[in-house]
Structure formats: structure tokens, C-alpha cells
Amino acid sequence: MRPRTSTATLVRPRGAPDQTTWGPWHGPDRAVGWGSVTKVLTAGLVRALVVNGSLAWSTTAPEVLGGPAAPSLTVEALVRHRSGLPRVLPRSSGAPVDKDPYVAWTTEAFDRDVVPHLAGLVTARSVGRDNYSNLGYAVLTRMAETVTGESWLTALRERVVEPLGADPDAFTVAPPAGATLPLDRSGKPLADWDLSTGPFCGVGGLWATLPALADVLGAKGVGGKRSPLAPPPESDPPSPHAWQRGGLGRDVAWHNGMTLRQGAWVQTSHDRLVLAHRCGGVPGFTAGAARRAAQRAAGG
């Protein structure tokens, strides 16, 4: 019988060779879908745009995209998930898990049906509080595209990936040839969510191999400075980033990701990177499976 799941892990100790495991659908040259791990790269792109003056942490979404004033929708608040925007658009709330909540949101549809109403989507009691928002990162994606005049993927490649010395073509928003895909028992690909057609690409649309993502997450910044993708040490003054903390020790920052049939986990600390990806299995549980695989690979 064909396998119904496949899991891969990569542990990159600082200054030592990678330690990898590859499931039957995975391999070092096979791209995988990273889901919300994408937000780490979107936050890094935003940081690069702040550094070059294209944006400021205090810039609000309406200043860039138009629409009614919304003081809480600053770049910093959006990156930190403190803008007051909901996790998903209201019409997606409560939808069946197998229904694709993103495929209909092309850039044109988002600009027409969401952007003019952003101020009205803010929940006042959530402003300034941690309130994880996929919608907020879609707004950041459109802001980055607007100020650069480029697609999210092009801006990411040119302003984050290339400066870190990695191959820009190794990062896409759609599964490339040979990508790891969920398969049914007969070996045919199963449907998954499609985040390639609009601003939700910057929320969860990244495809890359495990080694390629490890290359950028572990790279030094220009001139030896900290990479825009690296979480600041907790000893530093607070700085906006997408990484999560808690549950794994003071030194560890992490992010997870999930689509319908794929789950991902990345974590970084002073001495190593750990990446894990799970493909297939019960929808809604793949991110947890990836985390458990990462912890086993890390020996924790």
C-alpha cells in the first residue's frame, strides 16, 4: 500500500553539516509548501523596505492603499499582529476546513472588496493586543507590492533573498516541477489550498526546498549585520518581527504553518536551525505533526 503521509526534517547546527531525514515524498531538491512560515519572509521584506525608507513602522495601510483612515493599521502593528484585524475575513470564518479560503482573493478582488473596508474590520478591543491575523499579512503584502511596484515574489527575491546570497529562483508561490505534493492511495495528487493568485501569497504561499529555506534563515545580513529574517535577541530592544516565542526556552524562536494537507515548523536558536515538513494525513493536524517531528529531530 502506498504511504499516506511523508515527513522531512533538517537540523543545521552552526558550523556543522546538516542532519536530514526524508520521507517517501520528500527530498533535498523537492520544494514544499510552507504555509504561514511565509510570514517570516514577509516581515523580513517589510523590514528591508523600512530600512531603505520605502515604508516606516508608523506608516498606515490607508496611507499606501487608500481608504478611510485607520490609525491602528500601522506597519509595526500589522507585523506584530496587534492591528485589531481579525484572523480571517468574516466570510471565511466558520467555513469547512476543506474549503479553500484564499483562491478567490485575487489582487483585483482584494483591492476592490477588502481594502476600502479595512477600517471597519478593526475590532477596537483587539488593538494593541496579540491577535494573530492572516488578513493583516495580506495587507502588508499589498503595501509592499504598492510601494515597490513589484509582485510580492519579485520584491522578496530582489530585496531579501539575493542580498542574503541565496538563489532567488529557489523561492516560488506555486509548486514547481517535482514539488512534494499530497497523494492519494493510487499516487494521484490531492487538492490543497492555492495561495498563489493574490495578496495571500505573502501570508502562506511560499514554496521552497528545506535546504533553500535554511540557507536564507541562517544567512548573515549585508556586511555581516543581522539578517532581516533573524529574530532579534530577547536582550535587544523590542523590534517588529513575525517569529513566535514561548514554550521552547528563552533562546528559541519559532513559526509554524499549515495548508489543507501540508504542515511546517521552523525554529532557530543561537546554535542551530530546525525545519520540518509534513505532507498528507488528516487535514487540520499537519502543523502539529511537523512540530513533533522537529522536536524529535532536535532531540527534545
Percent of the chain with pLDDT over 70: 93
257: closest CA among 244, 272, 273? 244
Quote the pLDDT of residue 217: 94
Quote the pLDDT of residue 1: 46
- Paired with 273 in beta bridges are 12, 268
CA atoms within 13 A on the CB side of 133: 30
Q: What is the pLDDT of residues 162-210, one digit of tens each?
A: 999 999 999 999 999 999 999 988 889 999 999 998 999 999 999 999 9
Q: How confident is the model at residue 137 (pLDDT cuts 50, 70, 90)?
A: very high
Local structure of 172: helix, strand or coil = strand
Alpha-carbon span 239 to 232, nearest angstrom: 7
Q: To which CATH superfamily is domain 5-177+189-298 assigned?
A: DD-peptidase/beta-lactamase superfamily (3.40.710.10)
Handedness of CA 45, 135, 131, 250 (dihedral sign): negative
Q: Please, are residues 267 and 248 in contact by the beta-carbon 8 Å criterion?
A: yes
Residue at grid coordinates 524562536: 253
Quote the pLDDT of residue 90: 76
Whether residue 107 is predicted with pLDDT greater than 80 in this model: the reply is: yes
Mean pLDDT of the chain: 92
C-alpha cell at 213: 529555506
Q: What is the pLDDT of residues 18-62, one digit of tens each?
A: 999 999 999 999 999 999 999 999 999 999 999 999 999 999 999
C-alpha cell at 54: 520605502
Alpha-carbon span 197 to 213, nearest angstrom: 22
So where are the chain's domains? 5-177+189-298
Q: How confident is the model at residue 226 (pLDDT cuts 50, 70, 90)?
A: confident
C-alpha cell at 49: 523596505
Whether residue 138 is predicted with pLDDT greater than 90 in this model: the reply is: yes
Q: What is the pLDDT of residues 228-255, one digit of tens each?
A: 898 877 655 567 999 998 888 778 999 9
Alpha-carbon span 118 to 139, nearest angstrom: 9
Strand bridging mode 19-22 / 32-33: unpaired
Alpha-carbon span 274 to 9, nearest angstrom: 7
